[in-house]
Amino acid sequence: MNVMAKAKKKISSAFIYFFGSFGGILFGYDIGVMTGALPFLQADWHLENAASLVGWITSAVMFGAIFGGALAGQLSDKFGRRKMILMSAIVFMIFSVLSGVSPDIGEASAYYLIIVRMFLGLAVGAASALVPAYMSEMAPAKARGRLSGLNQTMIVSGMLLSYVVDFLLKDLPGEWAWRLMLGLAAVPALILFLGVLRLPESPRFLLRKGDEAQARKVLSYIRKNPAEIDQELASIKETAKEERQANQKTSWSTLFSSKYRYLVIAGVGVAAFQQFQGANAIFYYIPLIVQKATGQAASSNLMWPIVQGIILVIGSLVYMWIADKFNRRTLLMVGGAVMGLSFILPAVINWMMPNMNPMTIVVFLCIYVAFYSFTWAPLTWVLVGEIFPLAIRGRASGLASSFNWIGSWLVGLIFPIMTACMPQEAVFAIFGIICILGVIFVKTCVPETRGHTLEEIEEQGTNRGRVKATNPEN
């Protein structure tokens, strides 16, 4: 009997959850790799005084990701989460290699790299939308926060990996250093492609396409109890039945109908706030931030990104430990408040004590990163993965991902320009105010999702929509 059971269960749940979230490695590596590559690239291409061009090279990936997230969301509803993750890995491999072999043809080299990194961003944006959706549809409700948090652990592990690679390659000749840093991103993409080849499709997507037998088989890989499988299948089918009875045709306008508007605004709003709070300014530019604070060369400050990466990884593990013990809203509000103060206090201290030690701001940035790492960083993608109903999940996840990347792109683009025009403390104080606004948004606009099934969350949003439709003044 055990032999037969093992023969049927060919894919372990650990394998599914590991490679289901491995796309975060691509996301994280490309967020982090430019941190170390940029000082060498600036020196090699003489871009030290070209703040706008540096901003575009850094943020080009995020600009492409805006469209990659939205496109992948739509296509995943048609072709499935698994196939689109495979396609993302292929695109990522191709354009990582093309980044590493950028031609040295004067100023045109910068524009070539910007264009290549925009196409690379299509894959990064797709992964940021597809991985949370896939993980939330595979994970049981009681462990969904923890297992979806694997995505964040993969992201920050990818960032730390890129920081370590940058540090190990820093003593190579400048041109070889940054080229290898960028080109080696193809390696995790290849690993993802090989792993996802064996992954099953999401059971919710399979049921939506009418393949109940295969959906049951997939659930048998990741659910221990046959009764739990039957209950989950029945719940998913009931939701699908209601959608068919309503003869619903999902379009962009569907997202903002009274039935879904509340949940869409909540999910997209959290995704946007995560980036406009300024975290990626630290991750992309920490060597340059330390350089401006201390006067030391940015290329000699590549240990600081590793420090940030270690804090992020530890924070992601802390999150997995506390994920299903505290409400999502509580963690977001506490984290956002501390993050805001970590940005605002250096400006206040510097105003009161003009001779403040310049490293004070770096210490406060570490506090910011610590709280960000176990609150807004993982919870944004957990919420994006679980708050949207099945009928709109692919499209809405893509929209949330796109808004997230719009914030990331703008922060990456304008941060070097802002710091060239005003003190760093003032720039971070602006981000601190945005953090506080994010806390207010969570308090007033975001529902609690911990411990609820995806179907219960959808019903909560539907009921809210009915109330709003009946009492518009509310």
> What is the per-residue DSSP string for 276-341?
HTTHHHHHHHHHHHHHHHH---GGG-THHHHHHHHHHHHHHHHHHHHTTTS-HHHHHHHHHHHHHH
CB 376 within 8 A of CB 53: no
400 Cβ contact partners less than 8 Å away, ≥ 6 residues apart? 69, 129, 267, 268, 270, 271, 272, 384, 388
Helices 328-352 and 424-445: angle between axes, nearest 10 degrees: 150
Q: Which residues of 373-385 are buried (b: 16+ CB within 10 A; e: fewer)?
A: bbbbbbbbbbbbb
Give the pLDDT score at 41.
Answer: 87
DSSP state of 199: P
Confidence (pLDDT) at 357 = 77
φ/ψ region of 46 (left if φ > 0, alpha if ψ in -120 to 50, else beta) reads left
Q: Which of 314, 349, 318, 313 is nearest to 429 (CA)?
A: 349
Q: Which of 368, 265, 383 is nearest to 323 (CA)?
A: 383
State residue 2's pLDDT score: 42
- Contacts for 254-261: CB closer than 8 Å, 24+ residues apart: 254/391, 254/392, 254/395, 255/392, 255/395, 255/396, 255/399, 257/465, 258/465, 258/466, 258/468, 258/469, 259/461, 259/462, 259/465, 260/388, 260/389, 260/391, 260/392, 260/396, 260/461, 260/465, 261/465, 261/468
pLDDT tens for the chain, 474 residues: list them.
343 344 344 677 778 888 888 888 887 888 788 888 888 888 888 887 777 888 899 889 889 988 887 788 778 878 888 889 899 999 999 999 999 999 887 778 889 999 999 999 899 888 877 887 787 778 776 666 666 667 778 888 998 999 999 889 988 886 888 899 999 999 989 999 999 898 888 888 888 788 888 888 888 887 777 877 888 888 777 766 665 554 456 677 778 777 788 889 999 999 999 999 999 888 888 887 887 777 676 566 778 889 889 999 999 889 888 877 888 899 999 999 999 999 999 889 888 887 777 778 888 989 999 999 999 988 887 788 778 877 777 678 778 877 887 888 899 889 888 888 888 888 999 999 999 999 999 999 888 887 777 677 777 666 665 555 445 444
Q: Are 369 and 312 in contact (CB under 8 A)?
A: yes
pTM: 0.76
Q: How far apart are CA 238 and CA 244, in angstroms?
A: 10
How many angstroms separate the CA atoms of 305 and 303, rounded? 6
What CATH topology corresponds to 12-470?
Growth Hormone; Chain: A; (1.20.1250)
Assigned token pair, 257:
């109908």
- CA–CA gap between residue 316 and residue 153 (Å, rounded): 5
The number of beta carbons lying within 10 Å of the beta carbon of residue 401 is: 31
Q: What are phi and psi of 200, to 5 degrees?
A: -80, 165
Half-sphere exposure of 381 (CA within 13 A, CB side): 33
Q: Determine the distance from the C-alpha atom of residue 160 to the mean position of all C-alpha atoms in its chain, rounded to a whole number.
A: 15
- Structural contact between residues 15 and 198, judged by C-beta atoms closer than 8 angstroms: yes
Query: Would you call 56 helix, strand, or coil by DSSP?
Result: helix
Q: How many angstroms separate the CA atoms of 414 and 402, rounded?
A: 18
- Residue whose C-alpha is closest to residue 41's, from 387, 279, 298, 278: 298
Distance between CA atoms of residues 422 and 434, nearest Å? 18
Cα distance from N-terminal residue to C-terminal residue, the chain: 59
Inter-residue contact 66 to 406 (CB < 8 Å): yes
CA distance linking residue 117 with residue 64, whole number of Å: 8
pLDDT of residue 470: 47
Taking a C-beta distance cutoff of 8 angstroms, is the pair 404, 272 a contact? yes
Token pair belonging to 248: 């619903």
Give the residue among 180, 183, 192 at the shortest CA–CA distance from 155: 192
- Token pair 């606009």 is found at 445
pLDDT at 65: 84
**Whats the size of the chain, residue-wise?**
474
Contacts of 284 (CB under 8 A, 6+ apart): 31, 34, 35, 38, 58, 412, 415
C-alpha to C-alpha distance for 143 and 451, rounded to whole angstroms:
8
